[in-house]
Amino acid sequence: MAAASYSRTRLFAPRDTVSAPSPPLSAVREKWSGWLLTGLFLVVAVLLFAAIYLTLPAQSHFWALVAIGILSLFFALGSYLMEAMSRDPTAQRSLAWGFFGMGFAVLLLTFGLGPSYAILSTVDALVSLTIVVVVLAISVALIAWRGRAVRAAQNQEVARAAWRQEPAPSALSYATARSPSVPSSAPPAPPAGNPPPPGRP
C-alpha cells in the first residue's frame, strides 16, 4: 500500500519539482574598461602635448612641434602594442591610427613650413622631409606586411573551421576506399539475356 501511494505520488508530481537543465553560462566581458583606459591615455597625451608647447618659449615652438610629432609616433607604437592585451582592440587600434596620422602630419607640416619662418634652410627642410617620408614608407610597408599576415591567419582559421564541420569518415568507407579495385583489363560482363559467344560453354 505504501509502495502504491509512493508510485502514485511520483507519477502525479507537478512538473515544477522536476529539475530542468540549466542553460550554459557565458563569460561576462567588460567592454567599457578598454574605452575608459583609452580615453584616459588620450587625455594624458593631450595634456603632455600642451605642456611641451607652452613650456618652451615662443622662439622654440618649432622644436616643440617636432617633439610633439615624434612623441605622437611613440604613442602610436604604444597603442599598437596595447592591442595584444585586449580582447576587443578597437579602441587601441583607433588610437594608434590617430597618433600615427597626427605624428606624421605634424612633422611634415613643421619641416615643410620651416623655411617660410626662416627657421630652417631649404636644404635642411628637404633633408628633414626626406627622412620623414622614408620613415613613413617603412611604417606603411610594415603595416601592410602585418595586415597580410593577419589575413592569412584568418583564412587558415576559416579553412580549419570548415574542416571541423565536415563529418568524419566511417570505418566502412575507409575500408571501401582501401579495398582493391577490379582490374581494368578484365573483359566486361555480358548483358543479361544474351547467349554466350561461340566456343564457350
Give a yes or no: residue 188 inside a domain: no
118 domain residue, yes or no? yes
Write out the residue range of the structural domain in which residue 131 sits: 36-165
Whether 136 shows a pLDDT value over 80: the answer reads yes
This model's pTM is above 0.75? no
Give the orientation angle of helix 32-55 with respect to helix 61-82, to 10 degrees. 160
Whether residue 132 is contained in a domain is answered as yes
Task: Please indicate, yes or no, if residue 175 is contained in any of the structural domains.
Answer: no
Question: Residue 17: pLDDT band by 50, 70, 90 thresholds?
Answer: very low
User: Of the segments 10-14, 20-24, 48-52, 84-88, which one has the largest average pLDDT value?
Assistant: 48-52
Task: Copy the grid coordinates of residue 111.
Answer: 619641416
Residue 175's pLDDT band (boundaries 50, 70, 90)? Answer: low
Alpha carbons within 13 A on the beta-carbon side of 57 = 1
Residue 164 has pLDDT above 80, yes or no: no
90 located within any domain? yes
The pLDDT of residue 104: 95
For residue 137, pLDDT beyond 90: yes
Q: Per the structure, how many domains does the chain have? A: 1
- 75 neighbors 90 (Cβ within 8 angstroms): no
The whole-number pLDDT of residue 179 equals: 53
List pLDDT tens digits, range 115-128.
888 888 999 999 99
Angle between helices 61-82 and 90-112 (to 10 degrees): 160
Higher-pLDDT residue of 43, 6: 43
